[in-house]
Amino acid sequence: MNDTKVRPVDETVWGDLETVFGTRGDAAGCWCQWFKLPRAQSDALTREQQRDRLHEQVTTGRPGVLAWVDGEPAGWAAVEPFSAYPNLARSPITRRRDDDPADPWAVTCFVVRMEFRRRGLARALLRGAVEHALSNDATVIEGYPVDPEVRPSLSAAERYHGTVSLFRDGGFELIRRPSATRAIMRRTV
């Protein structure tokens, strides 16, 4: 891949993050609020309200990393402590078990602009997400990817969690499979 840079988001790069999310498609309709709000509350928000919520999160914290390819905003990965995502605790896929670490950092989603797909950008984003978590004293990082080897027909939209091979290549190990196509993967430092 060409010159790729990945770093945590902050207010100074908000315009680039808006470019990555765009105005159409799944990312523009979610703004990484799906795991942060109960479904009814999330469904009641307009796209602008969801965007404004992410903007507030970027202003007050560092909820993810942004990637640029040759200076052009290209992709995003959301990564924060598990506790920042209340819906993860409610989901049968990601609900904590007694032997799970209480509050690992969680890489919940990836957004890559169409023209930058199939170039390895998700790998760079995952590396950046791990570095961001480690710089914030994370000792455990998790991902909740899909497995296209089990179901090759998974659409690009269904792959926003990342894939099992992406996380495996990033040093994560498979912890369990809560469903045929989903996995809990973990990296302990």
pLDDT in tens, 72-89: 999 999 999 999 999 999
The whole-number pLDDT of residue 26 equals: 72
Whether 134 shows a pLDDT value over 90: the answer reads yes
- Euclidean distance between CA atoms 10 and 59, whole angstroms: 6
CATH number at residue 55: 3.40.630.30
Cβ 175 vs Cβ 137: under 8 Å = no
Whether 8 shows a pLDDT value over 90: the answer reads yes
Domain extent for 48: 4-188
Q: Up-side HSE of residue 33: CA atoms within 13 Å toward CB? A: 27
Cβ 8 vs Cβ 130: under 8 Å = no
pLDDT in tens, 86-121: 999 999 999 999 999 989 999 999 999 989 998 899
The number of folded domains in the chain is 1
3-state secondary structure of 164: helix
- Euclidean distance between CA atoms 89 and 15, whole angstroms: 31
The whole-number pLDDT of residue 59 equals: 93
Of the pLDDT bands very low, low, confident and very high (cuts 50, 70, 90), residue 34 is confident
The whole-number pLDDT of residue 40 equals: 83
pTM over 0.85: yes
Whether 1 shows a pLDDT value over 70: the answer reads no
- Euclidean distance between CA atoms 31 and 121, whole angstroms: 19
Integer distance in angstroms from the first to the last C-alpha of the chain? Answer: 28
